[in-house]
Amino acid sequence: MDKKPSHARTVIAYIVLIILTFLCLFFFYILIVNATRSHPQIQKGFSFIPGHSFMKNLRSVLNDANIPVISGIKNSLIVSSLSAILATYFSALTAYGLYAYDFKLKKPAFVFIMLILVMPTQVSAMGFINLITKMGMLNTLYPLFLPSIAAPAVFYFMYSYMQSSLPLELVEAARIDGSSEFHTFNRVVIPIMKPALAVQAIFAFVSSWNNYFIPALVISDNSKKTLPILIAALRSADFLKFDMGKVYMLITIAIVPIIIVYIALSKYIVAGVALGGVKE
């Protein structure tokens, strides 16, 4: 092996990665720095040096009666976690149904799900609001996570993943071993699907965490608001009370759970599940 070119390549790779890392982390850094600065300081401009207003900003965020941050975090966590669990589990279940069983309406069912995939949320929003009003779910958290049960994009991802990683022999082997269909799904299919579930759980969690559109339509009680609505409310506060340090602090608080979730689940994505049951 020639040492010099590979050495040069390593250097270039590092430079590129450092630039990318910098681009990614720069905004986080500015965000966190600004969360420690006071409103006047931020208005003066850019700074890489943290200020001394961290505790002050934190206190003013937590003590604002109009912005119930703690319950906002709680609501967001409930909604996002349930969305992630429901979306991944039920999408995997649906995908499994279409992948492992043969029945007459299999093709139409698949096409139907794919059609929903191309329909934007905004189109069906009015009907959705109508529906949940009639069901008495307006101004509750249910409409924020229950619809995740039907997630066509997640379904499609699961379906593709099964095609590549779930040999039907495994299902057959489980059947012969005396496993019921549901038991097979939970004990054989789900563990094999772990990497796919983790990836989709992150996406579902993050998109639900960031979701503003539906909660803004559905929720009116302050105590039931999720973080994105609170951030929006804070930003549109009247000019006199407007405090950039407070806004940055709230945003910082809002991204922490996402980072934690990502770190917690990324292990599964990177490690993957050992696939050796079937001869490659």
What span, in angstroms and rounded, lies between the C-alpha atoms of 268 and 83? 19
DSSP state of 237: S
Residues whose CB is less than 8 angstroms from the CB of residue 224 and which lie 6 or more positions away in sequence, other chains included: 71, 75, 139, 140, 141
Best CA proximity match to 247, nearest among 77, 64, 48, 52: 64
CB 108, min distance to another protein, A: 16
Residue 84's Cα: distance from chain center in Å?
Answer: 7
DSSP 94-131: HHHHHHH---TTHHHHHHHHHHHHTS-HHHHHHHHHHH
Count residues contacting another protein (CB under 8 A)?
25
- Residue placing its CB nearer to another protein in the complex, 104 or 134: 104
Contact region with another protein (CB under 8 A), list: 30-38, 116-124, 173-181, 260-268: 173-181
Contact region with another protein (CB under 8 A), list: 45-53, 61-69, 90-98, 267-275: 267-275
Residues whose CB is less than 8 angstroms from the CB of residue 155 and which lie 6 or more positions away in sequence, other chains included: 91, 94, 95, 113
**Cβ atoms of residues 90 and 197 within 8 Å:** no
Contact with another protein (CB under 8 A) among 63, 123, 178, 267? 178
Contact with another protein (CB under 8 A) among 233, 251, 258, 273? 273
CB 151, min distance to another protein, A: 24
Contact with another protein (CB under 8 A) among 43, 121, 180, 186? 180
DSSP state of 224: G
CB 277, min distance to another protein, A: 4
Per-residue binding letters, 197-236, with another protein (x by CB under 8 A): ----------------------------------------
Residue 31's Cα: distance from chain center in Å?
Answer: 20
Contact with another protein (CB under 8 A) among 177, 223, 235, 266? 177
Contacts 24+ apart (CB under 8 A), 51-59: 53/245, 54/249, 56/245, 57/243, 57/245, 57/246, 57/248, 57/249, 58/249
Contact with another protein (CB under 8 A) among 9, 44, 52, 183? 183
Does residue 194 touch another protein according to CB under 8 A? yes
Residue ranges in 95-124 that form contacts with another protein under rule CB under 8 A? 102
- Residue placing its CB nearer to another protein in the complex, 134 or 279: 279
Contact region with another protein (CB under 8 A), list: 15-23, 78-86, 162-170, 215-223: 162-170
**Cβ atoms of residues 204 and 147 within 8 Å:** no
Contact with another protein (CB under 8 A) among 9, 15, 19, 191? 191
Residue 99, judged by CB atoms within 10 A of its CB (0-12, 13-18, 19+), counts as buried
- Residue placing its CB nearer to another protein in the complex, 117 or 271: 271
Supply 184's token pair.
């097979």
Contact region with another protein (CB under 8 A), list: 33-41, 62-70, 135-143, 168-176: 168-176
Contact residues: another protein, CB under 8 A: 102, 167, 169-170, 172-180, 183, 188, 191-192, 194, 273-279
